[in-house]
Structure formats: C-alpha cells, structure tokens
Amino acid sequence: MGDGTLERPCKSFVARALLPASIFVVYFVLLVVLQASTGAWNAPFNAYPDEPSHFIGSVMVRDYLASGKLISPIDFARHYYEHYPYFAVGYWPPLFYLITGFWFLIAGVGRMQALMISALAAAGSAWLVFTLVRKRAGAAAGFCAGFMLLCLPEVQRWASAVMVDEMVLFFSLGAAALTVCWLERPTVWNGALCGLCCCCAIMTKYSGLYVAVVPLAALLAYRRFHLLRKPGCLIQPGVLTLGVGIWAIWTWELAWKGLPESREGSLLMRLAQAPGAVFHLFPAVLGVTVAAGLLGLILKRRAWGPDLTVICLLSLGAIGFIVVSPVGLDEPRYLLPVAASLIVLGFAGWASWLAPLSRQTRRRALSALGAVLAAAAATHLGDFRRPASEPISAVVQAIAGNPAWAGKRIMVAPDFEGPLIAEFAAQAHHRPAHELLRPSKVLARSDWFGNDYRCWFRTPGEVRDSLSRIGTAVVVWHAPRNGERQQHARLLEEMLANNPHVWKQSASFEQEAGRRSWFIYAYEPKAPAR
C-alpha cells in the first residue's frame, strides 16, 4: 500500500473536483460578506433605473409559477401590471427572471434573496477566470486572478444590485470556456453545450448577442474548416434558433422600442475611446500589470493557443458591440467581459515573459505576482459607488401596515416610482396587495426612456379632481433637494399644498438628520353637511 497507487487518485480528485469547488465557495462567501457589510441587503432599489424592473419582473414570474394558472401568461402579466406597473419582460429576454423567479419559490421574495443570484453569477465568473488562468499559470495564480476580478469596483457594484449584467458576464465567459473545449474536442456534446451557453448569454440580455459569433470566429481563425461539416458545429445554430429565434420574433417590436436612433460620436471616435474606457475599470496598479502582460503576448506569438484566441475574440466582440451599438461608453458594465478577458490574457502574458524559467520556478513566480496583485486589489473591496440612502422601506411599511389602505390605490412619488413599487412587491405577503399608480403614466405620458413627454393636466385642481375620480387613497411625496421636477410633479405638489383639508399629511420621514423630505398624504374628504 506504500506504492502511492491510492495517493495519486486522491490527489487527482482534489485537483479536479474538490479544489475548484472550494474556490467557487470562497468567491461566493466573499461576495455575500461584501453585500452584507456594505448594506446592499437593506438598500433601496435605486442602484440604477433598471433595478426595480428586474426585481418586479422576477417576482411576477414567481407569482405566475405559484398561481398554477399557466395557460395565459399574457393575461396574468397584464393583470399584474395593473398593480405593480414597473416591469418590462419582453423588452428584456426572460432568462434572468426565470432563474430568479424559481429561486424566489424556494427562498422567498426579498432583496437579499435576489442578490444571491447576483453573487452566484459573479462568483461563477471569477471561477471561470480561475479555470482559464490555471491552465497556464497554475492554481494559485488562477485563484488570485479570480479574486482580482471580484475586487474591481464595477464588478462589486453590480454584484450588490439586482441587475442582469453579472449573469451576462458569467454566460459570456462560460461560452468562451466551452468554445475552447469544443475546439479541443469537437464532439456533439461539447458543441451543444457551447451553443446552449451562447443562447443563455443572449437570453439574459441582448448585449450578449456577439457571443454567438465567437465559436465560428475561432474556428475560422484556426482554419479548421472541416469542423463546419461536423455535427458539433451544425448543432450550435440549431440551439440558438430554438432558444433565441422564437423569443426574438415574438418580442421583436418590444426589443427595439425606445432605443436611441443614433450613436454619440463616430465609429472611429468611439473605437479610439474604447481602450481608455476598458482600462478605467482597473485600479492603476492592476491596469499597469495587466498591460505589461498583454505586451508579453504581443511580443511572443508562440504563446498563443486556442484558449487565448477565444478569449481575445470575446473581448473584441464586446468592444465591437459597444462601439457599433447606441449604448454609451459611459456604461462600463457592458465592458465587464473585456475586463475579465484582459485579466486572463494578462496572466498568460506574464507566463510567456517567464517562459525561460523552469516550470516549478515559473509557477512560483506567477503565484507571487498573483499574491501581490490580489493584495493590491483587496484594498478596493467595498470601494464602489453605492446608491443614496432613502427611507423607502419605512414609507412602504407604514402604508402596508395600515389595514385601512389594503387593496387601495396608492400613488407613488414621481421621482422614485420604480424603487417604491419594487419595495411594495418585496414587502407584500399576499400579492397583489395594492393597486399602485405611477404619476408619469396617470398624470402624463412618455415612452420607456422618458421621451415624447406630455402632461395631461394644466392646473392643480384638475389633478385633484382626477385623483378623486379614480379613487386614489394615498399619495407618497418626496421633496427633492434640487427642486427640479417635471410639470405633472409640480402640479401634484401644488395640489397637495392647496388642499390640506382633503389630502391630510399622515406621516413624514427623515432622509437626512433634521430634514424631512418623505411624506404620506391620505385622502379624507369632508363629510357632506346635513
């Protein structure tokens, strides 16, 4: 028994299964601790205007599945929108909502539960970076590379919000990793998995559309034209057609509704600005180190292989998408796949710089470099832009806890429509509990992006009569510090100020010490004289 025959399988099991699984758990626990320590679990849904819509869309899917009435989803969605009018399933693809909705069935509805999905996706992305770097630089350097990704402020920001970008990043990296597997072993199974992961990236958000081109581009780059006739290649467009094509045709008009008609700046200008936008994602020390690694790959062409080619194509595809699309370069979340790709390429470049050293010495040097970079990256944990603190949870709790307002029509604050509606959905024990009204839809008109604005009323009296006619019981008002508001919001504010005997202030809340800027007004009409 001392010949090591049992020891070798044990080491192989640890290397292939136990170690990668443990690293994923470490990444996930790190993100959960980060969310808890930065207050993300209790934050309002105001990290980004899309966040409330993603949360409410997921809650709607959960309630649809729990209802058992799965025959008419359109009718269910229309009825749901009458109560929680702030979701856009169809404008966005459905995968995030399906995954999060199923999770809500298991774990319950809440912001913390939704953030577990963001943490899992970000941890999965870091784990894929670990896997890709490990192949060339060793497990220790791979672990540090994944840790570096999680320490990027932009990754932390979206891992602490109910957004789809972390899931797009995970499926994009997964598609790249599976493309490498398919090139190395062009089986039907590997081809199907590659196509499925590309499909998942696109069905999470259309910004992942470029991922579908990566397998074909890698095949052409290596001139493996014979694979075009193999079932493993032919199955990929079939999977994409079934997974994406039917949904895209069904929701074609919704997907393009409201998008800007043109880009800001010319293609050349945007292309010139893209590298700066990418490296702006990295703290200075990490950015310089990654750039030095990329220089090594440029100078040492022999270091290239299918893995690095695919990762490079992924980053070029992401840059190409943001350059040609109407998305602005001031939206760095679209460049997260590029940042992850550069970390992988950077470590591969450093491995090529150290290629003259022995394998053991090279791995030790790369591990030391990774440890230094991880230590530098750790100083940026918690260093990301967080949403402003607002007493939205307390406001909603005061309304939801009043039995006299159960099932009533509630008009939410004009400048916090989404966060308030999302909080109502999160706190409701039995949905729908209220019929929520958006001032921007009831008192005015505009499209999804706020264009083509038109106010329906001219005087506060007309607003008062309209709210009375539709049976509004409560109005939530927030007084913004800068005083800037649209016409319908100004009319609503004047109506509340001019009718204190009908619209009585029921409660007020502090946004900052000594400044009460949140108010609840209840409709209490005078009793008719006898």
pLDDT (tens digit, 9 = 90+) per residue, 55-100? 999 999 999 999 988 878 889 999 999 999 998 888 889 999 999 9
Contacts of 456 (CB under 8 A, 6+ apart): 443, 444, 445, 466, 488
Strand partners, 519: 477, 508
Please tell me the distance from the alpha carbon of residue 81 to that of residue 432, in angstroms, as a whole number. Answer: 10
Nearest to 344 by CA among 378, 370, 318, 372: 370
Who has greater pLDDT, 422 or 268? 422
User: Would you tell me how many other CB atoms lie within 10 Å of the CB of residue 253?
Assistant: 9
Q: Strand 503-512 relative to strand 435-437: parallel, antiparallel, unpaired?
A: unpaired
Read off the pLDDT of residues 412-465 as tens digits, 9 standing for 90 and up.
999 999 999 999 999 998 888 899 999 999 999 987 767 788 999 999 999 999
User: Which residue carries 């591969």 as its tokens?
Assistant: 348
Confidence check: pLDDT of 176 > 80:
yes
DSSP 3-state of 389? coil
Structure tokens at 312: 């490079």
Read off the pLDDT of residues 97-136 as tens digits, 9 standing for 90 and up.
999 999 999 999 999 999 999 999 999 999 999 999 999 9
Please tell me the distance from the alpha carbon of residue 80 to that of residue 61, in angstroms, as a whole number. Answer: 10
Nearest to 271 by CA among 325, 342, 195: 325
Give ∠ CA 165-171-174 in degrees, rounded to 5.
140
DSSP 3-state of 472? strand
Nearest to 380 by CA among 32, 130, 34, 26: 34
